[in-house]
Structure 1
Amino acid sequence: MTAPSALDLAGLAADEVNAAGGIGGRPVELVAVDSGRTPAVVAADAAALHRAGAFDLLVGFHTSDVHRALERALPPEARYVFPPPHEGGRRRPGVLRIGPSPLEQHAAALRWLTLNRRARRWVLLGTDYVWPRTVHRAARQVLSAAGAQVVGEAFVPFGPGDAGLLVDLVLRSRADAVLLSLVGRDLVAFNREFTRAGLDRRVVRLSGALEENGLYALGGDATGELFACMPSFAASEDASDEGQLALQERHARRSGPRAPVICAYARGVYDGVRLAAALADGRPAARASAGPRLGRADGLVFRDVLPARAS
């Protein structure tokens, strides 16, 4: 769902770098590697391309299990920018993560919902890989300190499954809030089943992976109970970030009126390509980080509840 807009924004970033003279007078060229395969296959493919001189820097747009496999497969001198939310922990030199850690992304949102929506009984649902597991560990810490409790938890494999079983867990647990670390189509399938069960208007949902394309796949949400804590809400109609609004205009000019909607992941890829170009050009890699953010779904857009602050 997110790949079309991410590829669009990667191309836009490369075009802008090249329009400004490229890197030391050389044009930026993009080499795409399919990261939807198993981590070992993706890592082996990328390592072979690097050995062959096909690329100088890697910008990763993929899950954290692929991220870890790439770190192991690439040589120490390979430089690698990873923009999405990540699982935290130490990383080898040459790897630059520009997304938030689990605590940075989720802590403020969990505390706000516990206090302001009286969300005391939480169920944690995630896809079975490293990022959701570290998110859930962080969430347990935050929720316990906030006086809330975890009353259920489940991890499911990637791919089609029975979302009804997860909805049944929420019902049995008498939860008043759900933290969703499901990703991609699994997240969409759960939310659709959740709505069919009639829980969407009485149980709060918070996701660290729901972005604009996922909201479109749901047909939007107007319950006031669906929240997301992505680093940005790129397609929000009330975006106050002038740079974001200008980016949306440049994207529309380049890709046309039927271009895929810019999502938070795509914005990360754009930032990652621009940052990788700066690194290759010998410029500093300093980057302002965004503070915690929480948005509530309002139809097909997100409205800020906790707007980003520079930190």
Structure 2
Amino acid sequence: MIYTPRSARPPDWTIAMVVPLQGPAGLFGPSCEAMSELIVHDLNESGGILGREVRVELVDGGGDPSQVAAEVGRLLDQGRIDAVTGWHISSVRHALAPVVAGRVPYVYPALYEGGEKRPGIYCSGETPRLQIAPALRWMREHMGLRRWFVVGDDYVWPRRSSEAVHTYARDLGLDVVGQAFVGLGDRAISRVVKRVAEADCDGVFMLLVGQDAVAFNRSFAKAGLHDRLIRFTPFMEENMMIASGAAATTGLYASASYFRTLVDANSMDLTSRYVSLHGPGAPPISAVSESCYEGGRTLASLIERAGSPEVAAIDATIDGAAYDGPRGTVEFKGRRAHQPVHLAVANGLDFDIVTTLSPAN
């Protein structure tokens, strides 16, 4: 084997992986860290990005958004990172956007409220058009659910998604009979459950993150509401299920592009490689941690297609970019990512896939 001196080798390609390690979403942290290691392993096994070896710089995305943005800005100023991705809430994305601002590519792989058009930000996650509208239609047609109460955390994704729910409800002949928003980490979730219990609704539309959703599920079940009301959410991943407990998941539906129970070659291959790398006792694979894998996969695909890491080059070539991954085929039409979305129902601490949804027009 011929040794190549470090100075003669291409430098490492460093991705800032922004994931929550504290706060209501902190329960996702271990799974995200483990999945970050897998995407680094897989990218390097396939030759890295443009021939450069990949590494990850983990950034805590669970703190105040301005502090997260300041940390990423510091890493950029020091020349320590070449790209940004990871699962974090939309408030963090909005804080990061002006800091990253075309300096390096920024892939946002989490589900979000839609509408992101800023140069250099590439959103590959689910949007309400793919995730919410088709699910509401399916549940109306197959379950007769017409009256909904919306519960959400009080920040941009739940607020904007709630607006989408109201729009789709009008289009589908549904009623939104009430809504309530709570601050992230608010411990008074029982007051919201009481309002739901008093409402004339068929189901609860949940837009809660992490421990807030866990607290709601537990309080909902304790009040016996799971016996008569359906819950639906575009965001309920496996760590949240485990923390809620099997007794608190009866009648809980979710829509997403990835569930670890998907039975297809791409999903099963991800699970096999994850267990091979980390062992059977690793943190659970989840929709959130899969987003971290997806972020790295999207970055590599867009950069390789452009033949350059420059934001202008990626912007010029993103239309029509596509790749196959754990979510199936993800394709960019213009700057909008399209991908399959599935509806699933809780079965204890996991999900059973019910159907693949047809996108709204």
2:179 — aligned with what?
A: 153
1:273 equivalenced with 2:296 (yes/no): yes
2:286 — aligned with what?
A: 263
Match of 2:83 among 52, 57, 61: 57
Structure 1 vs Structure 2 CA RMSD: 1.9
Counterpart-to-counterpart distance in 1, 2:157 and 2:101: 23
- Range with bigger deviation, 198-207 or 143-152: 143-152
- Range with bigger deviation, 204-213 or 273-282: 273-282
Q: Structure 1 residues 164 and 224, CA, compared in 2 at 3 Å: closer, same or farther?
A: closer
Counterpart-to-counterpart distance in 2, 1:90 and 1:213: 27
- The alpha carbon displacement at 1:174 in A equals 2.1
After superposition, residues 91-240 of structure 1 pair within 5 angstroms as 91-220=117-246, 225-234=251-260, 236=261, 239-240=262-263
SS in 2 for 1:229: strand
After superposition, residues 229-308 of structure 1 pair within 5 angstroms as 229-234=255-260, 236=261, 239-281=262-304, 282=306, 286-287=321-322, 288=330, 289-307=338-356
- The alpha carbon displacement at 1:88 in A equals 1.1
Q: Structure 1 residues 223 and 95, CA, compared in 2 at 3 Å: closer, same or farther?
A: closer
One-letter identity of the residue aligned with 2:267: Q
Judge conservation of contact 2:151–2:180 (CA < 8 Å) in 1.
Answer: yes
1:22 equivalenced with 2:85 (yes/no): no
One-letter identity of the residue aligned with 2:132: H
Judge conservation of contact 2:107–2:122 (CA < 8 Å) in 1.
Answer: yes
One-letter identity of the residue aligned with 1:79: P
- The alpha carbon displacement at 1:160 in A equals 3.5
Counterpart-to-counterpart distance in 2, 1:39 and 1:295: 32
One-letter identity of the residue aligned with 1:269: C
- Range with bigger deviation, 183-192 or 5-14: 5-14
SS in 2 for 1:200: helix
- Can you give the 5+ residue segments of structure 2 that lack an aligned partner in the other structure? 1-26, 308-316, 323-329, 331-337
More strand by share: 2
- The alpha carbon displacement at 1:171 in A equals 1.5
- The alpha carbon displacement at 1:304 in A equals 1.2
- The alpha carbon displacement at 1:260 in A equals 1.0
Query: What fraction of aligned residue pairs are identical, expressed as a percent?
Result: 36
Q: Structure 1 residues 90 and 59, CA, compared in 2 at 3 Å: closer, same or farther?
A: closer
User: Could you report, residue by residue, the CA deviation over 1:68-102 in whole angstroms, capped at 9, with x for unpaired residues?
Assistant: 11002223232100001112114211110001212
One-letter identity of the residue aligned with 2:229: V
One-letter identity of the residue aligned with 1:210: M
- The alpha carbon displacement at 1:275 in A equals 2.0
Match of 2:71 among 45, 68, 72: 45
Counterpart-to-counterpart distance in 2, 1:256 and 1:178: 37
Counterpart-to-counterpart distance in 2, 1:214 and 1:101: 20
- The alpha carbon displacement at 1:240 in A equals 2.1
**How many residue pairs end up in the alignment?**
308
User: Could you report, residue by residue, the CA deviation over 1:31-69 in whole angstroms, capped at 9, with x for unpaired residues?
Assistant: 011100111111111011111111101013100010111
Q: Structure 1 residues 64 and 202, CA, compared in 2 at 3 Å: closer, same or farther?
A: same
- The alpha carbon displacement at 1:20 in A equals 2.1
One-letter identity of the residue aligned with 2:355: L
Q: Structure 1 residues 294 and 221, CA, compared in 2 at 3 Å: closer, same or farther?
A: farther
Counterpart-to-counterpart distance in 2, 1:174 and 1:93: 44
- The alpha carbon displacement at 1:133 in A equals 0.8
Q: Structure 1 residues 274 and 310, CA, compared in 2 at 3 Å: closer, same or farther?
A: farther
One-letter identity of the residue aligned with 2:208: L
- Range with bigger deviation, 298-307 or 147-156: 298-307
- The alpha carbon displacement at 1:309 in A equals 7.2
One-letter identity of the residue aligned with 1:296: V
Judge conservation of contact 1:290–1:309 (CA < 8 Å) in 2.
Answer: no
Q: TM-score normalized by structure 2?
A: 0.81
Counterpart-to-counterpart distance in 2, 1:37 and 1:183: 14
